[in-house]
Structure 1
């Protein structure tokens, strides 16, 4: 059963029971109070008649006591008990002395001497129309003794109107009960709908989330417990979405590793293939063969070392690579020499100059970073690439790569370090680019505690630089 129906039926039952209890208590108290009032009145009337009888007996002047009592009781019957009331007086032997509208058998007038009792009795009466009706009376009986004579007095008072009023009141209460219950059910229906509507919305949102829509959020904005539940659900959904995203990124990272690794293989493989092709196609001098073989050996060894370090950098997020103090001018020269073959294919001239200094770096990763920057400059479409290393202060060494190529649009500057983001997709694909180079450069720069800065103007070229802590060569 839905919570809406449970709430509606539950509150309706509670309302019905509560109204029934109130009606029962009200009617019971009203009838009990009215009957008690009639009882007190009947006892008071009985005592008044009893005192009158005692007065007559004590002050009688003739020997015919029964006649004087009969006369007195006849005169006082209407004034004391009214037309509907009754009085009955008998002596100890059960002989009736007076009776107006009531008569009793011998067994009905038994009462202990000096006691007073009362009870409510019902009588069947017949109306003038022949219809029978039930009437209720209060009977009060007492026994008293005067002048060696014992008397039994019985009075009755009609309390049928009290029960008739109670019946009328019960009817009215039943009408009010039905009306109030009907109105209450309407109010409960509306309240149940208002309370369960946010829960229905929260349930719908939960189903969306369960079906894979991790962006689904509850729009319940109430300030009650349901609102707090919706807020807690939104927090839970946000955390779960974050965890799902992390899992997706972990899976994607495994895929990216292959793409990154393939991308990083391209630069050394280009040099290896280029020099190997030169050795295959041309007749070279012994020195030229030795130089080309040296480049191939150097790049092959770097490729081997790079494969292990890329594995640690990309898949394991390892950031504890060992930095060694290195002569920076040598690694800059090495990178430029490695890139010359690719530059010749693009008809681009590479020039460089570098101040002598010692810099803390990881050789293979640093070379990968610088080669990526030079490679991007070579592919920019310009005719010249400048690589420089300058000791700009006592402890800061700045390495810059500049070109006079096509430049980078301002709106793309902030996004070029995003993985797979390419400014010119058609050019990048034709050159087998994947948009991963600068993303990897950014991570390697962070490993060396530095940051890559980009300055570019469309149609005029790009300048990329980064600063590293260094020591001048003459301080060694």
Structure 2
């Protein structure tokens, strides 16, 4: 495209430049020739006037004109010869005097000056000449004077000027071609940068960016391209992260599924092939039912996750006192079994959301807190408003988590304490469900934890 623009612009410029030079040269030539013609006509008139006086003088002395014509014209021819000019005199159609070759007079049109008009023409035999022919005034209208003027010097001067203009045009064209090439390189440089950056992005170099300088359209284009590249990089990163999480989800799911299936198959095979007592049979059946129940819980939790993705919920005003009371009744039995005290404190009236989902959210968070706590410890549940933002908080004083564990705690099937969770039947889906519920309520989860310092989980609502 750059070559096409270069050659197209250059050809158009050369066409108009040389057309302009040609037209200008033609105008200058016409002007010079016009000036010369006017000069020749004036000089012809002066010579005719002078000859007329000489003819009158001869007549007054009674001397014949034709006998004295040679001597009469000699001074004029002498002067004309010095300037490479020439004179010729006709009487009727007969040439009676000439300082010019007769061959050069062959094409002189006598019809025009016979009618009283002066005739002027340009002939280029060996040299370019202007010929002016005209009749003498009465009573000598039988005589006609032809005056020849050499315009070779004028033509040569015009040719030099024309050649100078063409030479200057050629030099100017070369300079223009060089400047045009530099200009096009500067104009097309951003396009080449865009092309290189686009190819780099297509090859996976998503950090490619264009330099932004100035405040013109190219700068705006570079900013738009960089914004597009940044969005592409972000989306690719999101897709890679989503793919990683999906693969991890599948791997974890396969691992979680394998454990109960292995136990179920092992106990079933033991019951089939071994001679066992009634007590062993009941124990094996109990393990089979326990693992089956864990698989059932996992299936229900996965179903909850699937149903909540891209799902719009019906929201209404939920009374916090009622919600916390319902949550307390649900988790009280499990907390008492582990000798853990759960306290609820409500400092706000209501929140906009779905009561069932919010109850599930708090139950999951408190259940995780119970699993992380030691006997005779306390769990604090609070609902309050902070800096015009509504917050639900669950605080325990259990084992806590490291910074690395906090980074993955909301991932499906992730468990900070794998042995404890599996022993208690957890599949690592509770916090993933909590995250989904929070997003449906325009809220986000915030974790504050430290090893042996306990964990506080806050559900922060971004809208009132």
Same fold flag (TM > 0.5): yes
1:465 deviates by 5.8
Cα separation, partners in 2 of 1:186 and 1:55, compared to 1, 3 Å: same
Shift of 1:301: 8.8
TM-score, normalisation: structure 1: 0.69
Which residue of structure 2 lines up, in the alignment, with residue 37 of structure 1?
35
Q: Which residue of 2 aligns with 1:181?
A: 173
Q: Larger % of helix: which? A: 2
Alpha-carbon separation, structure 2, partners of 1:13 and 1:255: 61
Change (3 A) 1:264 1:115: same
Stretch of structure 1 that moved more, 106-115 or 35-44: 106-115
Number of the residue aligned with 1:386: 378
Task: Give yes or no for contact 1:408–1:462 (8 Å, CA) kept in 2.
Answer: no
Any conservation in 1 of the 2:133–2:146 contact (CA below 8 Å)? yes
Q: 1:55 Cα shift?
A: 2.5
Q: 1: distance between equivalents of 2:427 and 2:81?
A: 116
Residues 218-250 of structure 1, C-alpha deviation per residue, up to 9 Å, x if partnerless?
335455544444344344445555666676677
Residue 434 of structure 2 corresponds to 441
Instruction: Tell me the equivalent position of 1:132.
Output: none
Say if 2:92 and 2:143, in contact at 8 Å, map to a contact too: yes
CA distance in 2, matches of 1:169, 1:401: 99
Q: Map Cα deviations across residues 166-185 of structure 1 (whole Å, 9 max, x no partner).
A: 23333433433333332222
Runs of at least 5 residues in structure 1 that lack an aligned partner in the other structure = 125-134, 270-278, 290-294, 344-348, 469-476
- For the 8 Å contact 1:377–1:401, the answer to whether it is kept is no
**What corresponds to 1:319 in structure 2?**
313
2:342 maps to 1:352: yes
Q: Do residues 405 (structure 1) and 399 (structure 2) align?
A: yes
Is 1:220–1:227's contact at 8 Å kept on the other side of the alignment? yes
In the TM superposition, residue 402 of structure 1 has moved relative to its aligned partner by: 1.4
Q: Is residue 88–residue 98 contact of structure 2 (8 Å, CA) maintained in 1?
A: yes
Change beyond 3 A, Cα 1:419–1:296 = closer
- Output aligned runs, 1:47-196, within 5 Å: 47-59=45-57, 60-61=59-60, 62-79=62-79, 82-96=82-96, 98-103=97-102, 108=108, 110-111=110-111, 112-124=114-126, 135-144=127-136, 146-147=138-139, 150-196=142-188
Q: Which residue of 2 aligns with 1:310?
A: 305
Contact 1:384–1:404 at 8 Å: present in 2 too? no
State the match for 1:337 in structure 2.
Answer: 333
Q: Deviations for 1:113-163, whole angstroms, at most 9, x for unmatched residues?
A: 312111111223xxxxxxxxxx11101111245337511210100111112
2:190 match:
198
The verdict on how the C-alpha distance between 1:283 and 1:155 changes in structure 2, with shifts beyond 3 A counting, is closer
Name the CA distance, whole Å, in 2 between partners of 1:280 and 1:49.
Answer: 156
SS in 1 for 2:102: coil
Contact 1:109 1:152 in 2 (8 A): no
Deviation, 1:254, is 6.3
Deviation at 1:202, TM superposition (A): 0.8
Structure 2 counterparts to residues 216-235 of structure 1, below 5 A? 216-219=208-211, 221=213, 223-235=215-227
- Measured after TM superposition, the shift of residue 51 of structure 1 is 1.5
Rate the CA distance shift 1:448–1:91 in 2: closer, same or farther, 3 A: closer
- Give structure 2 stretches of 5+ with no counterpart: 262-277
Which position in structure 1 is the counterpart of 2:453? Answer: 460
Residues 189 and 355 (structure 1 numbering): CA distance in 2 closer, same or farther, change over 3 Å?
A: closer
Contact 2:323–2:359, Cα closer than 8 Å, also in 1: no
Aligned to 1:147, what secondary structure does the other structure show? coil
Q: Distance in 2 between matches of 1:296 and 1:339?
A: 23
1:4 & 1:467 partners in 2: Cα distance? 57
- The CA distance in 2 between the partners of 1:78 and 1:87, in whole Å, is 10
Per the alignment, residue 269 of structure 2 pairs with: none
Residues 398, 141 of structure 1: alpha-carbon distance in 2 compared, 3 angstrom cutoff: closer
Q: CA RMSD in A?
A: 5.0
**1:223–1:416: structure 2 CA closer, same or farther, 3 Å change rule?**
same
